[in-house]
Amino acid sequence: MKKILILHTGGTISMAEDESGHVSPNAVNPLTQLVLPSTKIEIVSEDIFNLPSPHITLEHMLTLKNRITTAFGEGFDGIVITHGTDTLEETAFFLDSTIQRGKPIIITGAMRSSNELGTDGIYNLQTAIRVAADDDSHDRGVLVVMNDEIHSARYVTKTHTTNVSTFQTPTHGPLGLLTKDKIFYFHRDSENQHLDIHSVSGKVPIVKCYAGMNGEIFDLLDVTTLDGLVLEALGAGNIPPAASHSLERIIEAQVPIVLVSRCFNGIAEPVYDYDGGGSQLHQAGVMFAPEVNSQKARIKLVIGLNAGVQDLPHFMEN
């Protein structure tokens, strides 16, 4: 019999809607009161947090990572995490980047609270448990399971504010799906690099670029307190010329700068050789992070800094 640990962190999946339509956390997580219909799986539940996902920090993610590592040493065969959807992809990516592949780690959530009509929380939890107990889920990294789909933590992102099918994987598509009785995997994504860190310190903001950007935002940044910077650039990886000139001060201060595209699909790469173009930025020392969005690039840079990675460009660009 498989032994699965469910770690509840809060979020909409554990909240309730009041008479006015406002959704807020419960004093007691309703998911811990569920009796799930399973005779083949031993389930243990823990409330590790009870937080809306915008309240989740990197320190919470590190606590979660440490609990998962301990749980595998206690003989659990898989982990299911319930999480708010706003920052779910960031927690999933953090865990995928800091825990070696092996036993299944599944993250799920809900777009409708526990007492709303058509609530999806209980169903998503049940399907997540099924995936965690499936032998074919081993060595696939952290998986996000919602709406009968299985996604890689490395690439999945929230795409809609309210729709139950909000989690999608641009460019690649889902790794698999669930039917009533079976689990199907279509492919296996490439191995992500894992670093076992013990701290998550570092000031790494994200700046989104836009037409007519003049660099004033970069001028406001104090390079003496900055540990890194993530740029969400235009197109394949370009920024307006005035902004690129202001960026030179940060580059000269040897602050690690990582660039991703603000585009929903595709890969950022240094192609254009003009003032503010990606080719010139890359030559100046800006690192390009392929196939991740800005919030995940930030997490990856923080992990690299706390792990003491010497070759940051190779780490960030692979």
Write down the catalytic residue from 9, 12, 98, 157: 12
Helix pair angle (294-306, 88-98), 10° resolution: 30
Q: Using alpha carbons, select from 121, 145, 132, 137 the residue that is nearest to residue 42.
A: 132
The edge-to-edge listing of strands for the beta sheet with 287-288 is: 206-208, 229-233, 257-261, 287-288
Q: What's the distance, CA 84 to chain centroid?
A: 12
Residue 169's alpha-carbon distances to 157, 183, 264, in angstroms, are: 6, 18, 10
Nearest CA-CA partner of 83 in 115, 48, 118, 108: 108
Which of 252, 3, 23 has the alpha carbon at shortest distance from 115?
Answer: 23
Contact 125, 25 (CB under 8 A): no
Phi, psi of 152 (to 5 degrees): -80, 135
Residue 147 is encoded by which pair of tokens? 């709406």
Q: Kindly list the distances between the CA atom of residue 116 and the CA atoms of 16, 23, 37, 113, in Å, as whole numbers in the listed order.
A: 7, 10, 21, 6
Distance (Å) of CA 100 to CA 67, 104, 217? 14, 11, 38
12 catalytic? Reply is yes
Specify burial of residue 233 (Cβ count, 10 A radius: 0-12, 13-18, 19+).
buried
- Helix H, strand E, coil C: the string for 83-117 is CCCCCHHHHHHHHHHHCCCCCCEEEECCCCCCCCC
- Give the residue numbers marked as catalytic: 12
